[in-house]
């Protein structure tokens, strides 16, 4: 399928690995000029080279922490007027809510709510002028499904979702869409600590812990960055122009709600 976005400019935050990398690869493969971002220079540059070689796309790597003002400036200096913005950022680690102090709570909200809002504020008016914009926010299954210990991440991401619900409707008439993709248990580095902890707790290998976890998912497997990125590319395409203000679960059926 021709996604109709060849030549568009796309910023994909936190895209040196994992789900962000999957999104960057698919957007580059669709003909977009992509700006990828990460904090590790070696990894980020290697990802840029890999995507560039595989797709032939123009790929710019920006080494920056997207949560900071300087990091956002560096990304926007590399691409002041993106047609597509994919917001992504690491979240706070799993912790009992009683261990969270004010500083930790504020940092979590900055990472997973304030940062994407700031980037949308910085880019959406130019999208309006061009009558084209696609904004995809990577949030989490935990917005819909209670995950003990991820309270801060869940609260900040749910806050972002509610904040943008009205914004999405305000800009829908300008051919700008704002949607969220909610990953469940995906085959990325983020799950490695969970597998290691489970292995130690139960006296099993990490691979056994991984297999045990997969049995809790109706699909009996982890999701992949590739299939996640394909959905992101579709929502960013011309074919996604009538879809806005929506939340898309990518969780292999883990969330059991019918609606």
- In order, the DSSP letters of the chain are ---S-TT-EEEESS-SSHHHHHHHHHHHHTT-EEEEEES-HHHHHHHHHHHHHHH---EEEEE--TTSHHHHHHHHHH-SS-SEEEE----PPP--GGG--HHHHHHHHIIIIIHHHHHHHHHHHHHHHHT-EEEEEE--GGGTS--TT-HHHHHHHHHHHHHHHHHHHHHGGGTEEEEEEEE-SBSSGGGHHHHHHHHHHHT--HHHHHHHHHTTSTTSS-B-HHHHHHHHHHHTSGGGTT--S-EEEESTT-S----
> pLDDT for 157-189, tens place per residue?
999 999 999 999 999 999 999 999 999 999 998
Instruction: Tell me whether strands 84-87 and 9-12 are parallel, antiparallel or unpaired.
Output: parallel
Residue 92: its pLDDT value, please?
A: 86
State the angle between helix axes of 206-214 and 192-202 in degrees (0 to 180), rounded to the nearest 10: 110
Q: Which two tokens stand for residue 35?
A: 């700006």
CATH of domain 9-187+224-250: 3.40.50.720
> Which residues of the chain have a pLDDT value below 50?
none
Residue 48: its pLDDT value, please?
A: 98
The model carries a pTM of: 0.95
Residue 259: its pLDDT value, please?
A: 84
* Cβ atoms 134, 235 nearer than 8 A: yes
> pLDDT for 75-93, tens place per residue?
999 999 999 999 999 888 8
* Cβ atoms 32, 104 nearer than 8 A: no
* Cβ atoms 174, 241 nearer than 8 A: no
Neighbour tally for 136: CB within 10 Å: 26
* Cβ atoms 209, 199 nearer than 8 A: yes
All CATH 3.40.50.720 domain ranges of the chain, comma separated, are 9-187+224-250
Residue 252: its pLDDT value, please?
A: 97
């Amino acid at each position: 399928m021709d996604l109709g976005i060849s030549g568009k400019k796309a910023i994909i935050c936190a895209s040196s690995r994992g789900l962000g990398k999957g999104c960057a690869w698919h957007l580059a493969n669709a003909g977009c000029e992509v700006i990828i971002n990460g904090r590790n220079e070696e990894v980020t540059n290697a990802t840029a080279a890999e995507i560039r070689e595989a797709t032939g796309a123009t790929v710019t790597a920006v080494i920056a922490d997207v949560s900071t003002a300087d990091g956002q400036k560096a990304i926007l200096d590399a691409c002041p007027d993106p047609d597509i913005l994919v917001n992504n950022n690491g979240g706070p680690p799993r912790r009992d809510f009683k261990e969270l102090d004010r500083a930790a709570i504020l940092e979590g909200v900055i990472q997973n709510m304030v940062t994407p809002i700031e980037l949308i504020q910085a880019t959406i008016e130019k999208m309006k002028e061009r009558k084209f914009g696609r904004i995809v926010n990577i949030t989490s299954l935990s917005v819909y499904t209670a995950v003990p210990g991820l309270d801060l991440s869940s609260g900040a991401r749910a806050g972002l979702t509610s904040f943008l619900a009205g914004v999405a409707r305000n800009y829908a008439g300008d051919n700008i869409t704002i949607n969220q993709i909610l990953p469940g248990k995906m085959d990325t580095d983020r799950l490695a600590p969970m597998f290691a902890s489970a292995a130690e707790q139960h006296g099993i290998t990490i691979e056994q812990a991984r297999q045990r976890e997969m049995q809790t998912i109706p699909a009996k497997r982890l999701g992949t960055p590739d299939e996640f990125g394909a959905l992101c590319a579709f929502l960013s395409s011309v074919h996604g122009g009538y879809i806005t203000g929506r939340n898309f679960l990518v969780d292999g059926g883990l969330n059991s709600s019918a609606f």
